[in-house]
């Protein structure tokens, strides 16, 4: 078979592990030809391909980023985009496509599958917000990076008797903030799913100062106050219409400084959470997803996504995985609240 593979959306630790697994299993067990598309859907729209043979994947397992490159190109936002994508895939003789991506990339994949392309998706995102899978690869690495930062910030914050606000990624889901904050012993965790009360946040900070330590707050980039809107540093949007988040950390730090009368600083972790080598968990999960995607293709499946349920890799309909975001449920947030203040 001729299997196309692409990586779309924000890069994510573990992408290369999936690519390697698809190539190793596809070629090694089935004699497939693997065609890589450069920069996500852009490569499909422009027939920009690279042959992915065994040599192309040697040594890439521990590497961050993606050897195929990525973009946020959306064929459905372009005139004649979907038709061109389908035509190019046909001309290149692609029998099946394995897109590795989050809600946007897999949203496009869902529609192409409905148009007749054989598609098996692989869920990736540091945000862990894809429905249908317990975890996406990349999330564990991002949480590890954020936790280490929080550990380091505890000691410098305490030494200077100042509040530190750590802004983490996650878009409209608070998974990274919740897990990194819990693992790092944050005094307050703020997530998009639960608009926060500024007075309560200030009280937690004062309580922490009163105990002789300095507060560490973890705030998700999409968190917003109860009686306000998103605090953004830019108004830019990408090809899928997502607004660029960021700015809540700085806004919150100046509010806390004003209300507590003590210095407060914001630390934005940004792309550090996405770059670099994947954790062992993500390497294994990404590898298992890649292997399972090849199995699904050879079983004649289409319109499905490989997913983690407990410790098993299963197949779920792509449409179900991309219909709604997987958000932090209130009971998970309540667990973290026990440690606030």
Q: What is the binding site for ligand F6P (CB under 6 A)?
A: 10, 102, 125-127, 169-171, 221, 244-245, 274
* d(C-alpha 110, C-alpha 90), whole Å: 17
Burial of 283 (0-12, 13-18, 19+ CB in 10 A): buried
Q: Whose Cβ is closer to ligand F6P: residue 145's or residue 313's? A: 145
- Least separation in angstroms between residue 148's CB and ligand F6P is 18
Please, which residue, 72 or 162, has the CB nearer to ligand F6P? 72
Q: Quick one: how far is CA 158 from the chain centroid?
A: 31
d(CA 261, CA 44): 55
Nearer to ligand F6P by Cβ, of 90 and 244: the residue is 244
Annotated catalytic residues are: 127
d(CA 272, CA 295) in angstroms, rounded, equals: 33
Pick the closer one to ligand F6P by CB: 15 or 117: 15
| Shortest distance (Å) from residue 323 CB to ligand F6P | 18
By Cβ distance, which residue is nearest to ligand F6P?
169
d(CA 123, CA 280): 17
CB distance 177 to 194 below 8 Å: no
**51 touches 40 (CB < 8 A):** no
**Three-state DSSP class for 317?**
strand
- Return the half-sphere exposure (C-beta side, CA atoms, 13 A cut-off) of residue 332: 17
Q: Could you tell me if 16 and 22 are in contact, meaning their C-beta atoms sit under 8 angstroms apart?
A: no
Question: Least separation, in Å, of the C-beta of 69 and ligand F6P?
Answer: 13
Q: Which residues pair with 250 in a beta bridge?
A: none
Shortest Å, Cβ 170 to ligand F6P: 5
Token pair listed for 111: 């529609």
Chain position carrying tokens 């819990």: 182
CB of 89 vs ligand F6P, minimal distance in Å: 25
| Comparison of 49 and 105: residue with beta carbon closer to ligand F6P | 105
């Amino acid at each position: 078979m001729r299997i196309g593979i692409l990586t779309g959306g924000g890069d994510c630790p573990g992408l290369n592990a999936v690519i390697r697994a698809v190539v190793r299993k596809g070629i090694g067990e089935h004699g497939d030809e693997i065609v890589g598309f450069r920069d996500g859907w852009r490569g499909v729209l422009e027939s920009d391909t690279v042959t992915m043979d065994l040599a192309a994947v040697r040594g890439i397992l521990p590497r961050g980023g993606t050897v195929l490159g990525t973009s946020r190109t959306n064929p459905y936002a372009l005139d004649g985009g979907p038709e061109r994508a389908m035509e190019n895939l046909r001309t290149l003789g692609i029998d099946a496509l394995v897109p590795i991506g989050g809600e946007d990339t897999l949203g496009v994949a869902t529609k192409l599958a409905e148009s007749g392309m054989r598609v098996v998706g692989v869920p990736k995102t540091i945000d862990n917000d894809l429905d249908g899978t317990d975890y996406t690869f990349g999330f564990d690495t991002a949480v590890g990076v954020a936790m280490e930062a929080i550990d380091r910030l505890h000691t410098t914050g305490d030494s200077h008797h100042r509040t530190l606000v750590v802004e983490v990624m996650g878009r409209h889901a608070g998974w990274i903030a919740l897990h990194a904050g819990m693992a790092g012993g944050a005094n307050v965790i703020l997530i998009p799913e639960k608009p926060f009360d500024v007075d309560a946040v200030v009280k937690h900070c004062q309580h922490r100062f009163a105990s002789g330590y300095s507060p560490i707050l973890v705030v998700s980039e999409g968190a917003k106050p109860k009686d306000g809107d998103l605090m953004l540093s830019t108004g830019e949007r990408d090809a899928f219409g997502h607004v660029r988040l960021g700015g809540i950390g700085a806004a919150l730090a100046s509010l806390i400084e004003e209300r507590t009368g003590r210095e407060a600083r914001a630390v934005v972790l940004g792309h550090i959470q996405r770059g670099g080598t994947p954790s062992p968990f993500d390497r294994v999960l990404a590898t298992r997803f890649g292997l399972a995607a090849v199995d699904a293709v050879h079983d004649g499946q289409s319109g499905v996504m490989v997913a983690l349920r407990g410790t098993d890799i299963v197949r779920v309909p792509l449409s179900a995985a991309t219909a709604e975001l997987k958000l932090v449920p209130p009971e998970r947030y309540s667990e973290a609240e026990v440690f606030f203040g």
